[in-house]
């Protein structure tokens, strides 16, 4: 639910943000006149779908409300994914409590010391963007693994399962990459990972992750053990790569170049087995640094919130 509220002259506030009082998304009005707000401004990331022949299908992202994205990422960094899910579903959400130690820990994840490179931090943030984007278009019956809170975490970048009639319909494996070299990264890092998963070499890890997800949603399946044992992995495994792309990759020819070889690595199944997400962010590392600073500033505001 999007709520409009008069707050007088609120030029210092984002036009749309998460209210610390009620936990909902509000559109603010300044000086009695509503801002000129785009229809997409209540979404942190707007997704435009595409299909590249039989190669892949997915979405081009555009960050359309950075202030709201900062709000959501700040909450994710504090482990408040259930709260963020409610916001993304436009549901009523009680304002969460924010412990001082949790705030400090979240800020530490975004803070670089003199010897740190930004790559792990940027990867952590991008995984959260990817998680938010996945929630934006998830279908009924989908369960998405909570985002990692540890930079450079080894394992699945993300996981989404869809349950229908009490049985697992599909399992989508995520690979999320924030990089300045998108094509090289896909060819040298993503495709080998997908090839390994598709060959079933890490099926025990995948089964464990799926079991953990389903155990938190027991009402979705009739019998947990049966739901796991009846998964036909060869027909259930699907793949999703999300990557920061060059501007030249945004048109049809560019997407085909960027994701070239996807249908060779994952040759079984139809095009929906090969999901692809991309976003172009100019001056990626500088932008990520600025985004981190904004998120730290947002986290610090929770110290003076009466819910701390």
Predicted model pTM: 0.86
- Residue 134: the pLDDT is 97
- What is the total residue count of the chain? 308
Task: Give yes or no for residue 272 having a pLDDT over 90.
Answer: yes
Task: Give yes or no for residue 63 having a pLDDT over 70.
Answer: yes
Task: Give yes or no for residue 23 having a pLDDT over 90.
Answer: no
pLDDT tens digits, one per residue of 136-195: 999 888 999 999 888 766 678 999 999 988 889 999 999 999 999 999 999 999 999 999
Task: Give yes or no for residue 12 having a pLDDT over 90.
Answer: no
- Residue 18: the pLDDT is 58
The rounded mean pLDDT for the chain is 86
Number of other residues whose CB lies within 10 A of the CB of residue 67: 16
- Where residue 25 falls among pLDDT bands split at 50, 70, 90? low
Which are the contacts of 270, defined by CB distance < 8 A and separation ≥ 6?
54
- Residue 28: the pLDDT is 41
Query: Residue 30, Cα to own-chain centre: how many angstroms?
Result: 31
Task: Give yes or no for residue 298 having a pLDDT over 80.
Answer: yes
SS3 call for 48: strand
Query: Residue 71, Cα to own-chain centre: how many angstroms?
Result: 14
Number of other residues whose CB lies within 10 A of the CB of residue 47: 18
- Residue 60: the pLDDT is 98
pLDDT mean over 274-282: 98
Task: Give yes or no for residue 38 having a pLDDT over 50.
Answer: no
Which are the contacts of 157, defined by CB distance < 8 A and separation ≥ 6?
127, 130, 148, 174, 175, 176
**Is 3 within 8 Å of 25 (Cβ atoms)?**
yes
**Is 151 within 8 Å of 121 (Cβ atoms)?**
yes
Residues of the chain above pLDDT 70, percent: 84
CA-wise closest residue to 142 among 170, 174, 102, 109: 170
- Residue 14: the pLDDT is 45
pLDDT tens digits, one per residue of 98-128: 899 999 999 999 999 888 899 999 999 999 9
- Where residue 269 falls among pLDDT bands split at 50, 70, 90? confident
Higher pLDDT, 175 or 14: 175
Give φ, ψ of 50 to 5 degrees: -150, 155
- Residue 152: the pLDDT is 61
| CA separation for the pair 48, 252 (Å, rounded) | 13
Q: Containing H/E element for 84?
A: helix 81-88
- Residue 37: the pLDDT is 40
Task: Give yes or no for residue 33 having a pLDDT over 80.
Answer: no
pLDDT tens digits, one per residue of 72-81: 999 999 999 9
- Residue 232: the pLDDT is 80
Task: Give yes or no for residue 84 having a pLDDT over 60.
Answer: yes
């Amino acid at each position: 639910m999007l709520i409009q509220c008069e707050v007088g002259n609120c030029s210092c506030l984002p036009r749309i943000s998460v209210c610390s009082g009620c936990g909902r998304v509000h559109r603010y009005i300044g000086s009695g006149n509503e801002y000129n707000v785009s229809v997409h401004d209540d979404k942190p990331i707007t997704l435009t779908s595409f299909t590249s022949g039989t190669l892949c299908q997915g979405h081009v992202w555009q960050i359309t409300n950075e202030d709201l994205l900062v709000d959501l990422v700040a909450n994710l960094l504090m482990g408040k994914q259930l709260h963020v899910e409610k916001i993304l579903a436009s549901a009523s959400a009680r304002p969460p409590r924010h412990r001082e130690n949790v705030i400090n820990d979240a800020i530490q994840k975004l803070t670089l010391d003199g010897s740190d490179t930004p790559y792990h931090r940027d990867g952590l943030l991008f995984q959260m963007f990817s998680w938010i984007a996945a929630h934006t278009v998830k279908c009924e019956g989908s369960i998405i693994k909570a985002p990692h809170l540890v930079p450079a975490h080894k394992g699945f970048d993300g996981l989404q399962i869809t349950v229908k009639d009490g049985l697992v319909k599909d399992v989508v494996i995520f690979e999320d990459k924030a990089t300045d070299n998108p094509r090289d990264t896909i060819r040298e890092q993503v495709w080998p990972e997908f090839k390994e998963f598709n060959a079933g070499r890490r099926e025990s890890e995948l089964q464990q992750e799926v079991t953990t997800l389903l155990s938190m949603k027991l009402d979705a399946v009739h019998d947990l053990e049966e739901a796991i044992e009846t998964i036909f992995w060869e027909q259930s495994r699907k793949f999703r790569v999300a990557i920061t792309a060059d501007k030249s990759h945004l048109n049809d020819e560019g997407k085909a170049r960027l994701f070239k070889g996807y249908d060779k690595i994952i040759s079984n199944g139809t095009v929906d087995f090969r999901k692809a997400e991309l976003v172009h962010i100019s001056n990626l590392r500088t932008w990520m640094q600025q985004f981190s600073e904004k998120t730290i500033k947002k986290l610090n505001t929770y110290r003076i919130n009466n819910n701390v």
